[in-house]
Structures are given as C-alpha cells and as structure tokens.
Amino acid sequence: MNYIHTSNVVISMKKFIVFLCMLVMPLNVWAYSDEVILGGKTIGIDIKSDGIMIIGFYKVDGKYPKSDLKEGDYIIKIGNSTVNTIAELTEAIENNMNDKNEVLITYLRNNKESRTTLELIKANDMFKTGLYVKDSITGIGTLTFIDPESRIYGALGHEIIEGNTSKIIEVKTGTIFKNSITDIIESRDGTPGSKNAKFYYGKNYGDITKNTKYGIYGRYDDNFENGKLIEVADSSEVKIGPAKIYTVLSNEEIEEFEINIIKINENSDIKNITFEIADEKLLKETGGIVQGMSGSPIVQNGKLIGAVTHVITDNVKMGYGLFITTMLEESEK
C-alpha cells in the first residue's frame, strides 16, 4: 500500500537503551518524564533551512548552465560570502561573478562540503543561474507532547521534507506558532485531504531545533500550566483494540476521537501502530485521516502510547502511528 505523511506542509520560497557497562552500571539511560503534557493542538511551522536548497533546474537560452550541482544540494557560499537566504544569494552572485561569467559555489551534499563553478547565462539583458531554489518552508502539523520539566516538545512524528526533492530540510532556525483551522478538505481513497488554517505569525509557541525522521523538536516557551498531564506508556503496553486520538478539526478546539488498533509492529522503525478510524463524526467531517493530523496523540487505557504519522492512501480510513517512547528518546538526543 502507498502511504504519505499526514502533516500539511506548504512550501513558501526546505530503542533501546544502549549500555556500555562496567559491572552493571548503565552509561546512558533515557531520563524523559513519566508524565507529559498531552498535545493535540494544531501548530503552524516555519523553518529556515541551513543553506539554500536546490529543488530543480531550468534552461536559459535553450540550455542548462554548467555546474556539478544536483537537486537536494544546499548552497552555503558564493565565493567567500556565506548565504542563507535567496536575497543574500542574489546579492552574492552579483558581487562574485568573474570575467568568464562564472561564480564559485560551496555546497553541501549528504553533509559533505564541496565546490563547483556555476556558469551564468545572459538572457534578456540579465544573467541567470538556471536554478530553482528555496530557503524556507511553512506548514501545519499537530503537537504531540510537552515535557513539563524540560519544556521540550515533540510534534509530527516524522520529518519535514521538501516536496520536489524529497530531501529532509536541514534546520537553521525555526518556530512553531498559533494557527486556527478554517476548513477541512475531505480525504478520499487515493487522494488524502488536508486541514486548512489561518496563521498567526506573531504568536510564537516555541522554537524548532531538530527536524528528524521521528518528528520536530524544540523548546516550548508559551504557557502550558493548564495542560493535561498524562502518563507515558512503554511500547510493550500497547495492545490491539480501542484507542483514541486527539486533534483539531475547527478553530483551536482539541477533540477526542475513537480508533481501533489492528496491528502492532515493534520491529518497524516508524510504522509501529496500524489503526483504523472508528469514530463516525470524524469520518463524516474528514472522510478519513487528513494531512495536518501528523503528531496527533494516540491514547490507550489512559496512557499516551504514540502519535499519528501517516495515512494509507489506498484506504484513507487507516493509518500508521509511531511509539511515543521513540519520540521521547529522540527529544533527548
């Protein structure tokens, strides 16, 4: 079956405990809280990438400019000038072009730094690069938990990727912020729907420090004193049978919906929980799982067991979830 992430990302311009023992003393033990603040709140997400991602190429005057660059590379320097935004990139190219109409580019590919020259081609009295680039990404997702002691939060349960290249966005800076759900585009088999939201950029909840395959993480700086504390379940406590998810379908109201867990896979890296929606209200309003639900907490027997991460596109009433212990462990790295 096909599946996709259930965050709704709109592009804007990118365990086990390990013991190394002396006698029986563990060297590294996870120390996350036994209780966390239950999420379910929809959050706006804004990430500025670490460098400028190349997402494609276009022909200038009938040909592609010469270089060794590929989709997914991050441009970090033009000549000796560090660049982090498209405005900085444009200015640096203008200031560093040589007599051969070339610029020296330093770029990252798979975290390895390399250099190449990029040919600039003049067309319509302008020098053009032939590059499509992005320096940021904006979208929505769902908050999963906040650790009340460290104030570290986790959300989404999966990585944010750039849609054209399918490459993970390397975070330079980022924020999560207030939004309000305005309407839902319903899911249909083969075509997952999505949440649409109004963004309140001036109301930040916290920063984003990590974008990993297990979610996004950072420090939650807004008020959560009235948040509901919930006990964390170990993966061994998760059972086939009824459970609940918490998510927002309208404005900022967190609602509780019934699901059935039909399969548990402790050996999978990310698809630990397979579930189906059992709540008629949720099905009536959304048609199934929609993009923007990523990170919605999954609760069973009064304990937080995981987070919604993917919708199965062939049957949008079904989806996957990630164990909460994986997210908590990732938050401490």
- Residues known to be catalytic: 158, 279, 294
Picking from 129, 154, 200, the residue whose alpha carbon sits closest to that of residue 33 is 154
Cβ atoms of 308 and 157 within 8 Å: the answer is yes
Phi-psi region of 130 (alpha: psi -120 to 50; beta: other; left: phi over 0): left
112 Cβ neighbours under 8 A, 6+ residues apart = none
Picking from 272, 278, 238, the residue whose alpha carbon sits closest to that of residue 257 is 278
Cβ atoms of 270 and 309 within 8 Å: the answer is yes
181 residue type, one letter: I
65 residue type, one letter: P
Picking from 170, 208, 195, the residue whose alpha carbon sits closest to that of residue 282 is 195
Cβ atoms of 50 and 175 within 8 Å: the answer is no
Cβ atoms of 231 and 302 within 8 Å: the answer is yes
Integer Cα distance of 33 and 11 in angstroms = 35
189 residue type, one letter: D
Classified as helix, coil or strand, 13 is: coil
DSSP per position, 36-83: EEE---EEEEEEEEEEEEEEEE--BTTBPPP-S--TT-EEEEETTEE-
Instruction: Name residue, tokens 């998760």.
Output: 238
Residue ranges in 60-148 assigned as alpha helix (H): 86-96
